[in-house]
């Protein structure tokens, strides 16, 4: 267990928003535009000491999403960068917006083996834009899968709707079946789905807000809520946390290859 000091988590206080970033994982923990509710869900039992990836906020899954396969079999689920220390490389802005860029401190042998390098850029205003930017640093094309694993906070999952994926094909990771979405998504059980789509816009409607979510460069959108039983099995997931969150993740899961 690494003992992290307070400087590993920093607060951003700005006229248009407040936010909190952990240098462990380059991980956004909180984002709240002024006069709005908190956008992100963070488990109250999340480990913030670097002993494991942080449960909630916005984990960055890279350079693979889900279990490692092929030559990487046996390596960490969702890749490496959510478990690395990151460094701050840019903070820039004015009273309208703030851009914060971080890059992971990757051991050189890992970077060489992956053939890839990455940074994240958060652009904060009364909105949030997250860009995960990868460069192929090798001589050959490299496979890349990834996800911006956003845990959105919702006031009541029973009254939450995800709009925009009607008719879309998805892989149900719980049953391993391929299915088609009929109507908007309402969640009343464990849901772990990879929608195969580059659809740019969707929205998440709750009792109090409608949040617009846009993406670019993705080939999939992942929707996850563990629901009651599975949440209990995840030690750093609050038992009732599933009532107040849904993950909606812009992802690449379909065999994307990055040219050198
Ligand atoms: O994005 C959904 C998912 O891949 C699920 O299958 C679920 O396991 C979740 O991520 C959380 O994964 P984690 O490794 O953070 O426990």
Judge whether residue 4 has pLDDT over 90.
no
> Which of 138, 148, 123 shows the shortest CA–CA distance to 248?
148
pLDDT bin (cut points 50, 70, 90) of residue 2 is very low
Judge whether residue 218 has pLDDT over 70.
yes
Judge whether residue 93 has pLDDT over 80.
yes
Residue-range domain boundaries for the chain: 6-258
SS3 of residue 240 by DSSP: coil
Q: Residue 25 is encoded by which pair of tokens?
A: 């994982």
b (16+ CB within 10 A) / e for 58-89 = bbbbbbbbbebeeebeeeeebbbbbbbbbeee
- Is 249 touching ligand 1 by the criterion CB < 6 Å? yes
- Is 224 touching ligand 1 by the criterion CB < 6 Å? yes
Strands (E), 125-200: 128-136, 142-143, 146-148, 151-153, 161-163, 169-172, 177-180, 185-186, 191-196
- Is 238 touching ligand 1 by the criterion CB < 6 Å? no
| Residue having the nearest C-alpha atom to atom 14 of ligand 1 | 77
Question: How far away, in angstroms, is 31 Cα from ligand 1 center?
Answer: 21
The average confidence (pLDDT) of the chain is 96
- Is 78 touching ligand 1 by the criterion CB < 6 Å? yes
Alpha-carbon span 116 to 249, nearest angstrom: 21
pLDDT bin (cut points 50, 70, 90) of residue 101 is very high
**Tens digits of residue pLDDT in 74-83:** 999 999 999 9
Question: How far away, in angstroms, is 34 Cα from ligand 1 center?
Answer: 30
Alpha-carbon span 240 to 42, nearest angstrom: 12
SS3 of residue 232 by DSSP: helix
Judge whether residue 87 has pLDDT over 60.
yes
pLDDT bin (cut points 50, 70, 90) of residue 99 is very high
Using the structure block, give the residue that is written with the tokens 């956003």.
150
Instruction: Give the pLDDT of residue 1.
Output: 38
Question: How far away, in angstroms, is 100 Cα from ligand 1 center?
Answer: 26
Instruction: Give the pLDDT of residue 40.
Output: 98
- The predicted complex's ipTM stands at 0.98
- Is 76 touching ligand 1 by the criterion CB < 6 Å? no
**Tens digits of residue pLDDT in 181-202:** 999 999 999 999 999 999 999 9
Question: Mean of the pLDDT values across residues 149-161?
Answer: 98
SS3 of residue 137 by DSSP: coil
Question: Mean of the pLDDT values across residues 42-49?
Answer: 95
> How many helices and strands (H and E) does the chain possess?
2, 21
Question: Mean of the pLDDT values across residues 168-180?
Answer: 98
Cβ neighbors of 55 (< 8 A, separation 6 or more) are: 42, 43, 45, 46, 47, 234, 236, 237
The architecture in CATH of the region 6-258 reads: Distorted Sandwich (2.70)
| Cα angle 121-201-61, degrees, rounded to a multiple of 5 | 40
């Amino acid at each position: 267990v690494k003992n992290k000091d307070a400087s590993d988590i920093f607060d951003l206080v700005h006229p248009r928003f407040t936010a909190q970033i952990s240098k462990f994982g380059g991980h956004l923990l909180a984002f709240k535009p002024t006069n709005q509710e908190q956008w992100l869900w963070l488990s109250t039992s999340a480990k913030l000491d670097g002993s494991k990836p942080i449960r909630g906020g916005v984990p960055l899954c890279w350079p693979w999403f889900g279990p490692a396969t092929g030559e990487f079999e046996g390596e960490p689920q969702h890749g490496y960068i959510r478990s690395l220390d990151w460094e701050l490389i840019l903070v820039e802005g004015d009273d309208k917006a703030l851009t914060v860029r971080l890059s992971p401190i990757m051991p050189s042998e890992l970077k060489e083996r992956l053939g890839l390098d990455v940074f994240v850029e958060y652009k904060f205003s009364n909105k949030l834009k997250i860009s995960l930017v990868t460069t192929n640093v090798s001589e050959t094309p490299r496979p890349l899968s990834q996800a911006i694993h956003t845990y959105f906070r919702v006031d009541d999952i029973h009254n939450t709707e995800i709009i925009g994926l009607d008719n879309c094909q998805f892989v149900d990771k719980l049953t391993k079946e391929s299915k088609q979405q009929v109507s908007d998504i309402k969640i009343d059980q464990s849901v772990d789905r990879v929608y195969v789509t580059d659809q740019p816009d969707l929205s998440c409607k709750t009792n109090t807000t409608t949040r617009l979510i846009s993406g670019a460069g993705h080939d999939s959108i992942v929707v996850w809520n563990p629901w009651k039983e599975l949440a209990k099995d995840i030690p750093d997931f609050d038992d009732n946390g599933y009532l107040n969150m849904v993950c909606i993740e812009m992802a690449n899961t379909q065999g994307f290859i990055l040219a050198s």
